[in-house]
Amino acid sequence: MNIGGRVAVVTGGGSGAGRSLCLAFARQDAEGVVVADLDGDTAAEVAAEIEAEGHRAIAVPTDVAAEADVQALTARVMDEFGRIDLFCSNAGIIVGGGVDVPDADWTRMWAVNVQSHVYVTRAVLPAMLERGAGYLMLTASAAGLLTQLGSAPYAVTKHAAVALAEWLSITYGDRGLTVSCLCPQAFTSNLLTTSRRQVDARQPSPGSEVGSPQAAVDGVLTADQVAATVLEGLADERFLILPHPEVALYERRRAGDRERWLRGMRRLQARLTGSR
């Protein structure tokens, strides 16, 4: 997909990779950029920055965990621009812990990291199929292909996001819908800060934080670098967009010898937590 002349919607667009995506799309001459975020003030700031550079943008406060909000977002974009060419379902949160994480936090993680993608798809799919053209990009994580040490909810929900993206591509890929799945490792973001507004403020266990030794083995990227990789992936219409290309190798190793991979991950976890 060439972003020029397209209408793009980005959830979680007020900060981090979402903000960088919004700015990158505008600078690629998108017809319009829709900045959706739970924090309406940051969304408005990003939209204003885009408009100050001479491009068209609107900000829409949106709780992606509420289907009514997603439907309202979609309706607002249709009223403003008449169509949605690209929808980046990008919002996500993290909380540390295992199966002991409180039910309320598990529920919110599922709602934001998985169910929001379902709500987005429900909202945009009928019009995209009718037009025979449309692009969905779901943001998951390298954790959705591998795992997330110290955070069972994050690993589980991101795996579910990857599975949903695969299912959508298989089911609708021959009917005009293009699907990509963004799976970054560590990059500079405010994931932990935004997560604390919605779930338990506990830090993830050692080795699971964004920017930790586990995630940063291959380097911590900037949000702008992630956005640049997304532009390349969208241009090629690649399903899997990997800002850290090494993740593809790790996934092949995992699939090729899962027992060995599990042993290696246990050793890595022990080193990072100092338990061995």
**Catalytic (active-site) positions:** 154
Q: Read off φ and ψ for residue 216, nearest 5 degrees.
A: -100, 15
Q: Six-digit token pair at 71?
A: 């439907």
b (16+ CB within 10 A) / e for 126-158? eebeeeeebbbbbbbbbbbbbbbbbbbbbbbbb
Q: Six-digit token pair at 158?
A: 């991101």
CA distance 209 to 80: 39
Reference 83, options 73, 74, 70; nearest CA is 74
**Helices assigned H by DSSP within the chain:** 16-27, 40-52, 67-81, 103-110, 116-131, 152-172, 191-196, 223-236, 246-256, 258-273
Q: Which helix (H) or strand (E) holds 179?
A: strand 177-182
Contact 34, 9 (CB under 8 A): yes
Q: Read off φ and ψ for residue 9, nearest 5 degrees.
A: -115, 135
The one-letter code for the residue type at 160 is A
